[in-house]
């Protein structure tokens, strides 16, 4: 495949992906995930209780939910905090619901016991694909937290049924490409976000033309790219989860290395 991308990547090539675990020491599981220059801290915390609606409806098991936010300095121009506007903006609300749906799709809530797991995704630096990075990193943080619960004897069976990841694909300058950064995303004629399990099943597909239309062939090409990218992400997720259980080094040094310091 010939390259027509501004950063020299091939159309089917991911940006450099990395996971640095244990960046939030007070969380049950945490990871700094990087998709190129997009960096998100994903942290899992555990509440030994369930939402009121579950108690009222006598729903057995536990619950998993997510929150998403972009820090004020994550974009080129300062982004106001949601609290300063008095409400969550529509984009953040839509993304955090997507993260929650994606992770619940691969979690057996009946095995969680009477507890809630919160997945907090805070964007440190945004360069396209913050929602896909949040889902992919959120799954790693969740797995780390569940491993801790299992090791502590608080779970009888592992609730995570399989890994889930997400990746973008789009049409840029007439070429279907994988994992769009901001420059590509703003100029894309078509933009897809694809959430998939490690078994190759689709959890959710979000796609639309940006004042443009797309063909069935282009859609098939984007889904093929996303499938390839998802498989690569799952391999990296598995490696990150396994390495998170090993004795960790200096987290600050790892963070400095991730930011090129």
Express each pLDDT in 201-213 by its tens digit: 999 999 999 889 9
Is 12 domain-assigned?
Answer: no
In 3D, which of 195, 255, 204 has the Cα closest to residue 227? 195
HSE on the CB side for 25, CA within 13 Å?
4
Is 11 domain-assigned?
Answer: no
Is 245 domain-assigned?
Answer: yes
Is 186 domain-assigned?
Answer: yes
Q: 19 is written with which tokens?
A: 């996971």
130 is in an annotated binding site: yes
Query: Given this model, what pLDDT does residue 77 score?
Result: 83
pTM for the predicted model, two decimal places: 0.91
The residues facing 118 across adjacent strands are 45, 65
Is 185 domain-assigned?
Answer: yes
Q: Which residue has the tokens 């990087």?
A: 34
Give the whole-angstrom CA distance, residue 33 versus residue 239. 13
Query: Given this model, what pLDDT does residue 190 score?
Result: 95
100 is in an annotated binding site: no
Is 5 domain-assigned?
Answer: no
Q: Residue 125: CB partners within 8 Å, gap ≥ 6?
A: 37, 38, 39, 74
Is 184 domain-assigned?
Answer: yes
Residue 78 is classified by DSSP as P
Read off the CATH number of the domain in which 203 is found: 3.30.230.70
Per-position pLDDT tens, the chain of length 261 = 556 689 999 999 999 999 999 999 999 999 999 999 999 999 999 999 999 999 999 999 999 999 999 888 898 888 877 776 666 778 889 999 999 999 999 999 999 999 999 999 999 999 999 999 999 999 999 999 999 999 999 999 999 999 999 999 999 999 999 999 999 999 999 999 999 999 999 999 999 998 899 999 999 999 999 999 999 999 999 999 999 987 554 544 444 454 454
Q: 230 is written with which tokens?
A: 């998802």
Domain that holds residue 157: 17-249
Total domains in the chain come to 1
DSSP run (H or E) holding 131: helix 130-151
Q: 234 is written with which tokens?
A: 């799952």
Is 56 domain-assigned?
Answer: yes
């Amino acid at each position: 495949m010939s390259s027509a991308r501004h950063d020299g990547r091939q159309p089917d090539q991911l940006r450099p992906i990395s996971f640095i675990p244990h960046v939030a020491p007070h969380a049950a599981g945490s990871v700094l995930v990087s998709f190129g220059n997009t960096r998100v801290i994903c942290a899992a915390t555990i509440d030994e209780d369930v939402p009121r609606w579950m108690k009222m409806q006598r729903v057995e098991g536990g619950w998993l939910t997510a929150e998403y936010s972009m820090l004020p300095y994550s974009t080129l121009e300062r982004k106001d905090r949601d609290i300063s506007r008095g409400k969550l903006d529509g984009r953040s609300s839509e993304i955090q619901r997507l993260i929650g749906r994606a992770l619940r799709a691969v979690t057996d809530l009946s095995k969680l016991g009477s507890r809630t797991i919160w997945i907090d995704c805070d964007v440190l630096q945004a360069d396209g694909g913050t929602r896909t990075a949040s889902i992919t990193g959120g799954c790693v943080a969740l797995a780390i937290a569940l491993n801790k619960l299992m090791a502590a004897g608080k779970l009888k069976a592992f609730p995570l049924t399989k890994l889930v990841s997400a990746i973008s694909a789009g049409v840029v300058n007439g070429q279907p490409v994988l994992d769009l950064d901001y420059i590509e995303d703003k100029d894309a004629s078509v933009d897809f976000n694809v959430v998939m399990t490690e078994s190759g099943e689709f959890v959710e597909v979000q796609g639309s033309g940006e004042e443009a239309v797309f063909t069935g062939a282009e859609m098939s090409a984007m889904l093929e790219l996303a499938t390839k990218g998802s498989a690569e992400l799952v391999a990296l997720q598995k490696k990150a989860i396994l390495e998170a259980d090993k004795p960790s080094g200096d987290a600050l040094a790892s963070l400095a290395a991730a930011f090129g310091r």
